[in-house]
Structure 1
Amino acid sequence: MGLPMIVSMMLQAFYNIVDSYFVSKMADTAAVSGVGEYGVNALTLAFPVQMLMIAVGVGTGVGINSLLSRSLGEGKREKASKIAGNAIFLGLCTYAVFLLACICLVPAYLRSQTADPVITQMGTEYLKICTILSFGAILSMIYEKLLQAAGRTIPATIAQLAGALTNIILDPIMIFGLWGCPQLGIAGAAYATVIGQVVTLVLSLLFHHTHNKDMDASLRYIKPDRAVIGEIYKIGFPAILMQALMSFMTYGVNIILGLIGSSAVTAYGVYYKIQQFVFFAAFGLNNAIIPIVAFNFGMKDKRRVNDGIKYGMLYTLIIMLAGAVLLQVFGRPLMSVFTLSDNTMNLCITAIRVITLGYLFAGANIAFQGIFQAFGSGVRSLLVSMIRLIVVVFPVAFWFTAFQNAEHVVWWAFPIAEACALVVAVLFMRMAAKELHLTEESAMH
Structure 2
Amino acid sequence: MSQETNSAPVTENKMGTMPIGRLVFNMSLPMMISMLVQALYNIVDSIFVAKLSENALTAVSLAFPLQTLIIAVATGTGVGVNALLSKSLGAHKYDEANKIGINGAVLYAFSYVIFLILGLTIVKPFYMSQIGNADIEIMDMGVSYLSTVMIFSFGIFAEIFFERVLTSTGRTIFSMTSQLCGAITNIILDPIMIFGLLGFPKLGATGAAVATVVGQCVAAVVAFVCNHKFNHEISLSFKGYSPDFKIMGTIYAIGIPSIIMQSIGSIMTYAMNRILIGFSSTAAAVFGVYFKLQSFFFMPVFGLNNGITPIIAFNYGAQNRKRMVKTIKVSLITAFCLLFVGFACFEFIPHVLLGMFSASDDMLKIGVPALRIIGVHFLIAWFCIIVGTVFQALGKAVFSMIVSIMRQLVVLIPAAYILSKLGGLHAVWWAFPIAEVISFTVSTLFLIRINRTIISKIPDGSDVL
TM-score, scaled to structure 2:
0.90
1:50 and 2:67 are equivalent in the alignment = yes
Q: Within 5 A, what are the aligned runs for 1:8-407?
A: 8-26=34-52, 36-115=53-132, 116-220=135-239, 223-404=242-423, 406-407=424-425
> CA shift at 1:223, angstroms?
4.2
Residue 420 of structure 1 aligns to which amino acid in structure 2?
I
Q: Which runs of 5+ in 2 are unaligned?
A: 1-26
Preserved contact between residue 254 and residue 397 of structure 2 (Cα < 8 Å): yes
Q: Give 2:46's aligned amino acid.
A: S
Q: Is 1:306–1:441's contact at 8 Å kept on the other side of the alignment?
A: yes
Q: CA deviation at 1:16?
A: 2.6
Provide the residue aligned with 1:433 in structure 2. Answer: 451
Residues 137-189 of structure 1, C-alpha deviations (whole Å, 9 max, x = no match): 11101111111111111111111111111111111111111111111111111
Deviation digits for residues 396-428 of structure 1 (CA, Å, limit 9, x no counterpart): 000111134x22121110011011111011011
SS of alignment partner, residue 63 of structure 2? helix
**What is the rounded CA distance, in whole Å, between the counterparts of 1:188 and 1:72 in structure 2?**
42
Instruction: Please state how far the C-alpha of 1:364 moved relative to its aligned partner.
Output: 0.7
Q: TM-score, normalization: structure 1?
A: 0.94
CA distance in 2, matches of 1:299, 1:221: 31
The one-letter code sitting in structure 1 at the alignment partner of 2:378 is Y
Code of the residue aligned with 2:95 in structure 1: it is E
Deviations 1:353-400 (CA, angstroms, capped at 9, x unpaired): 111111121111101100000110011011111122221101100011
User: 76-85 vs 384-393, which deviates more?
Assistant: 384-393
How far did 1:222 drift?
6.0
Distance in 2 of aligned mates of 1:437 and 1:103: 47
1:224 match: secondary structure: coil
8 Å Cα contact 2:50-2:357 kept in structure 1: yes
The separation in 1 between residues aligned to 2:387 and 2:105, in whole angstroms, is 28
Q: Retained in 1: the 8 A contact 2:387–2:447?
A: yes
Look up the SS of the partner of 2:422 in the other structure. coil
The code of the aligned residue for 2:110 comes to: C
Note the C-alpha offset of 1:64: 0.8
Distance 1:210 1:385 in 2: 38
Matched position secondary structure for 1:184: coil
Structure 2 residue 444 is the aligned partner of structure 1 residue 417: no
> Which amino acid in structure 2 is aligned with residue 192 of structure 1?
A
Secondary structure of residue in 1 paired with 2:279: coil
Cα distance in 1 for partners of 2:366, 2:353 equals 14
- Over the matched positions of the two proteins, sequence identity in percent amounts to 42
1:259-302 CA distance string (max 9 Å, x none): 22211111010111011111111111111221111111111111
Distance in structure 1 (CA, Å) of the matches to 2:346 and 2:230: 38
Question: Are 1:4 and 2:30 an aligned pair?
Answer: yes
CA separation in 1, counterparts of 2:318 and 2:45? 44
Write the distance in 2 (CA, Å) between the matches of 1:103 and 1:43. 18
Is there any run of 5+ residues in structure 1 with no aligned partner, and where?
27-35
What is the number of residues matched between the two proteins?
433
4+ residue segments displaced more than 3 Å: 439-443
Counterpart AA for 2:377:
G
CA deviations 1:217-274 (Å, max 9, x no partner) are 2233864211111111111111111111111111111111122221111101011101
Give distance in 2, aligned partners of 1:169 and 1:139. 21
Equivalent residue number for residue 3 of structure 2: none
Conserved in 2, the CA contact under 8 Å of 1:86 and 1:222? no
RMSD: 1.4
